[in-house]
Amino acid sequence: MEATLSTIIAAAAPLMFASLGETISEKSGVINLSLEGSLMLSALAGFAVAFSTNNTLAGFAAAAVVGATFALIVAFSSITLGLNQVAVGFVLAILGVALASFLGGSYTGRPGGEVAVPPLNIPLLADIPFVGPVLFQHNIVVYASLLVVIVAWVFMFRTRPGLVLQGIGERPEATHSRGIKVNRLRYTYTIVGGALVGIGGAAFTLDAKLGWSFQHTRNFGWIALAIVIFGGWHPLRVAAGVLLFGFLQWLALDLQNVFPDLTQVLPIMPFVLMIFALVLVNADWLREWADRHPRWGNLIRGDAPSAIGTQFSAE
């Protein structure tokens, strides 16, 4: 039980960064649909740079730059040029996968032992029974992934800049009329979100699934996008979605022993279940139930930021 929970939390770190990054970006009103490509390319960049410089931190930095660059292209195309965010993001998703496949050939199968993130037990806390092994016997990447969740949550709902972030995603006109530079902030949050996605990519190749192979992070970008919706754009619920997905993956792996015939099929199932959980969240009867029971309802209800995917122009 302890070991299982600990495994799920450790394995969830990359997706945690990616989903939280996308949450921040979408909260400001910009959909970065490029995740499938930016995650894969930053995973490669992280591994390649760490491997050739023998410096793990440099790998994470390079990956963050790749993720931020993809986000910058989305921001520039949609905010400045007025292009459709979904179109640009989709093209970047395909392009990122193609680039990763083209550039990654020579790194396939290289052992990454020397550049792996070293384990780090947190003194005292690691000795607490149950909680210690589950939460405090990981490494810095896993701790950071959990910290990002808490920081994002506190920032969004307990600070003034966080309120502004919600404002530019929900009511850009009203926020603008209070003298806030909507588009500049949207650039900032999109790029910050993209950098987190990049860190998530490096967390795959330098920690969770050490090493690089073609399509190492396959489908995880798409699933991160789905989890943001499932999580109703709320950092804590997004984190819960990531852990739920991790649990389903663990379950699928475990069930392979029970149903050996389905070995090839089971790994796909968590993706399917996660996406169709969206149906449930959106179902009318569940929404009505949520309206009648506001205390519990708020746990499952989640609407997109009103101005998501739209342009804002000051004129």
Partner 1 sequence: MTVRSGEDASGVRRAAIGVLPFVVALLFASVLVLLVGENPIEAFRLIIQGSLGSADKLSDTVMVWVPLTLAAAGLVVTFAAGLWNIGVEGQIVLGAIGASLIAREVSAPPYILIPLTLLFGALFGIAWALLAGVLKTKGKVNEIFGGLGLDFVASGVTLYLIIGPWARPGIASTSGTEPFPTAAWLPALGDTRFSPLAVGLTIVLVVVVWMLLRGTRYGLKLKAVGRNPQSAFLMGIPTNRYILGAFAICGALSGLAGAIQATGFHHKLVPSISGGYGFLGILVVLLAGFRAIWIAPIAAFFAVIAVGSITLTLRLDVDSALGAVITGILVLFALMASGLRSYRRRKRSLELPPDPEESTSTPTPARGGAS
Residues in touch with partner 1 (CB under 8 A): 73, 77, 80-88, 90-92, 94-95, 97-99, 101-103, 105, 219, 222, 225-226, 229, 261-262, 264-265, 268-269, 271-272, 275-276, 278-279, 282-284, 309-311, 315
Return the ∠ at Cα 135 (arms to 220 and 66), rounded to 5°.
35
Residue whose CB is less far from partner 1, 128 or 278:
278
Residue whose CB is less far from partner 1, 188 or 311:
311
Residue whose CB is less far from partner 1, 117 or 238:
238
Residue from 216, 211, 265, 208 nearest 242 by CA? 208
Please name the residue that has the structure tokens 């607490």. 128
In the three-class reduction of DSSP (H, G, I as helix; E, B as strand; rest coil), residue 42 is classed as helix
Residue whose CB is less far from partner 1, 154 or 280:
280
For the CB of residue 282, give the shortest distance to partner 1 in the complex, in Å.
Answer: 4
For residue 261, what are the contacts with CB-CB under 8 A and spacing of at least 6? none
Dihedral over Cα of 269, 234, 32, 83: its sign: positive
Please state, in angstroms and rounded to a whole number, the distance separating the CA atoms of residues 149 and 124: 23
Residue whose CB is less far from partner 1, 26 or 207:
26
Residue whose CB is less far from partner 1, 126 or 240:
240
For the CB of residue 3, give the shortest distance to partner 1 in the complex, in Å.
Answer: 29
Q: What is the DSSP letter of 159?
A: S
Task: Say if CB 38 and CB 66 are below 8 A apart.
Answer: yes
For the CB of residue 44, give the shortest distance to partner 1 in the complex, in Å.
Answer: 12
Q: What is the DSSP letter of 136?
A: S
Q: How many residues does the chain have?
A: 315
For the CB of residue 81, give the shortest distance to partner 1 in the complex, in Å.
Answer: 3
For the CB of residue 149, give the shortest distance to partner 1 in the complex, in Å.
Answer: 22
For the CB of residue 214, give the shortest distance to partner 1 in the complex, in Å.
Answer: 9
Please state, in angstroms and rounded to a whole number, the distance separating the CA atoms of residues 260 and 253: 11
Task: Say if CB 238 and CB 227 are below 8 A apart.
Answer: yes
Side-chain half-sphere CA neighbours of 87 within 13 A: 6
For the CB of residue 52, give the shortest distance to partner 1 in the complex, in Å.
Answer: 14
Residue whose CB is less far from partner 1, 185 or 266:
266
